[in-house]
């Protein structure tokens, strides 16, 4: 069976359409045009706002005009991650999906169910004239996965909602009412390349790590490819007189890097020992991450000797800084322990052609701890002679003590399914924090069907939860109270 024929077709058909339109973060022209054209064909009011977001509006079912206004919100962009052997081009190619039992999966790439399922839900509601509901607007945001550009650039008054249904959670039966804030940190430097003074070059490649969502899965002990590479290079520089030519690891700030490659130059007589050392590192890493990174691969390849490398002192200071930089969980929420409060994801390393870029995403539900993590990383990189800048900050979403919407949804969920929904806060960053700051009287809840391993090529969606979620969405819209 094809994905588009799964039930409920209202969701899966629209999600299929989204998989056919390239929409990686930073390249949203095609998906924006698609959504506007799709709405126009169906006579749905839609426009692009100042933040490059798509806004759709739908009048109430006759007799329900006096209900509170519901804003349904999801983001249009997806994280472009792929496996080592994938040739997929996220800017041009559709996502290839397949059904494996109860799961929708892809072949070597992210699925984009984060947050394509949310967008598909908005589309399904907008085009279905049989659903009873009050006034509804869809708010489909731009570049949530990178800078939250859309919500950061929307104009006051864009939204009319009393309730916000954020459709960007990954666990069915869970209602999110709070999330961490975050900030991007970038360390940069330049260096003067020197002539390669050796007769051999070796590429060191780390790949097939799990990677993952740097908010939802940062606490699972997964390996960071950049941190592993720093350990290998540190020893190679110290014991084999290896000169670093280039390094590339990771490609998204909010994805734990699952691969990294580096090229070193050294004397031909030392190549054999370097390769032995790398093979030993592979065994060390496999033992350290046993049960977590069971597919981990560390390997070497002979390379043509590049013309230039980093001077020994430059390579040492940059590698040392990356090795020393805070990464992973920094602190759990005191008194809770199971929820991460503060973390750092050393996401991207790019070294070559006289330039160094190191990019990190810091998350925290406590502002002072986020600032402390910034101070720690800044000190680490500035001590290596690098300049450090921060940007793209978004505030934490503090749980509301009274939330009429979560009470309504909790009652509906219990009545429909006979169990209590779990009310939770998460370490991931959600646009709810920014929307809530602009609309402080809006009640907000985030929820969705079950997804696993978002931001990785192993991203998958649990099919039975989508039907359950869709029935719940329809019932919530039906029971929205009078304004």
In whole angstroms, give the CA distance from residue 328 to residue 260: 17
The pLDDT assigned to 140 comes to 98
**Contact assessment for residue 46 and residue 129, using Cβ atoms and an 8 Å cutoff:** no
**Contact assessment for residue 34 and residue 27, using Cβ atoms and an 8 Å cutoff:** no
The pLDDT assigned to 85 comes to 86
In whole angstroms, give the CA distance from residue 450 to residue 346: 27
Residues with active-site annotation: 77, 144
**Mean pLDDT, 10 residues at a time, over the chain (483 residues)?**
94 98 97 98 98 98 98 97 92 97 96 98 97 98 94 96 97 96 97 96 97 93 98 97 97 94 98 98 98 96 97 98 98 85 98 98 95 98 98 89 92 98 92 95 97 95 98 98 96
* Cα–Cα separations (whole angstroms), residue 80 to 73, 112, 154, 213, 408: 21, 8, 24, 12, 36
| Angle subtended at Cα 454 by Cα 329 and Cα 217, rounded to the nearest 5 degrees | 15
Taking the CA atoms of 340, 290, 249 and 169 in sequence, report the sign of the dihedral they define. negative
In whole angstroms, give the CA distance from residue 346 to residue 163: 36
Type and span of the H or E element at 39: helix 29-41
In whole angstroms, give the CA distance from residue 112 to residue 105: 10
Map residue 360 onto helix, strand or coil. strand
Residue ranges of E strands in 385-426: 387-394, 422-426
Task: Please list the residues that pair with 163 across neighbouring strands.
Answer: 70, 443
In whole angstroms, give the CA distance from residue 299 to residue 311: 25
**Contact assessment for residue 223 and residue 231, using Cβ atoms and an 8 Å cutoff:** no
pTM of the entire predicted model:
0.88
Domains of the chain: 3-180+397-479 (3.40.630.10), 183-394 (3.30.70.360)
CB atoms within 10 A of CB 206: 29
In whole angstroms, give the CA distance from residue 58 to residue 442: 19
Radius of gyration of the chain (CA): 24
């Amino acid at each position: 069976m094809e994905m588009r024929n799964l039930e409920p077709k209202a969701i899966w058909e629209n999600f299929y359409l989204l998989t056919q339109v390239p929409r990686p973060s930073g390249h949203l022209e095609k998906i924006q045009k698609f959504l506007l054209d799709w709405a126009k064909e169906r006579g749905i009011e839609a426009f692009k706002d100042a933040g490059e977001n798509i806004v759709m509006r739908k009048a109430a079912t006759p007799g329900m005009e006096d209900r509170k206004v519901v804003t349904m919100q999801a983001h249009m962009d997806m994280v472009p991650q792929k496996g080592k052997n994938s040739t997929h081009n996220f800017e041009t190619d559709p996502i290839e999906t397949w059904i494996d039992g109860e799961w929708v999966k892809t072949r070597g790439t992210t699925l984009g169910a984060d947050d394509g399922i949310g967008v598909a839900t908005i589309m399904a509601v907008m085009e279905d004239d049989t659903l009873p509901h009050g006034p509804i607007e869809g708010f489909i945001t731009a570049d949530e996965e990178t800078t939250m550009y859309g919500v950061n650039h929307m104009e006051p008054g864009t939204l009319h909602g009393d309730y916000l249904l954020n459709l960007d959670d990954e666990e069915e039966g869970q209602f999110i009412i709070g999330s961490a804030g975050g900030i991007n940190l970038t360390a940069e430097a330049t260096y003067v390349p020197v002539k390669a003074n050796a007769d051999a070059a070796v590429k060191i490649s780390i790949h097939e790590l799990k990677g993952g969502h740097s908010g939802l899965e940062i606490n699972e002990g997964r390996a960071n490819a950049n941190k592993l590479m720093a350990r290998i290079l540190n020893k190679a520089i110290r014991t084999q007189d290896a000169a670093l030519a280039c390094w590339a690891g990771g490609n998204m700030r909010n994805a734990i890097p699952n691969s990294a490659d580096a090229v070193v130059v050294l004397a031909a007589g030392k190549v054999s020992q370097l390769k032995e050392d790398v093979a030993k590192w592979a065994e060390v890493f496999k033992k350290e991450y046993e049960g977590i990174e069971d597919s981990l691969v560390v390997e070497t390849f002979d390379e043509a000797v590049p013309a230039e490398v980093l001077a020994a002192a430059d390579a040492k200071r940059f590698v040392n800084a990356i090795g020393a930089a805070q990464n992973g969980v920094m602190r759990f929420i005191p008194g809770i322990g199971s929820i991460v409060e503060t973390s750092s994801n050393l996401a991207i390393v790019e070294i070559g052609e006289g330039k160094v870029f190191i990019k990190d995403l810091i998350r925290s539900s406590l502002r002072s701890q986020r600032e402390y993590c910034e101070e720690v990383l800044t000190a680490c990189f500035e001590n290596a002679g690098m300049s450090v800048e921060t940007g793209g900050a978004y505030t934490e979403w503090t749980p509301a003590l009274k939330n009429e919407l979560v009470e309504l949804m909790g009652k509906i969920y219990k009545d429909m399914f006979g169990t209590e929904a779990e009310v939770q806060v998460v370490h991931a960053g959600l646009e709810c924090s920014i929307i809530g700051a602009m609309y402080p009287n809006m009640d907000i809840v985030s929820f969705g069907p079950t997804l696993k391993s978002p931001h990785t090529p192993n991203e998958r969606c649990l099919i039975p939860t989508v039907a359950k979620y869709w029935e719940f969405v329809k019932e919530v819209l039906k029971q929205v109270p009078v304004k």
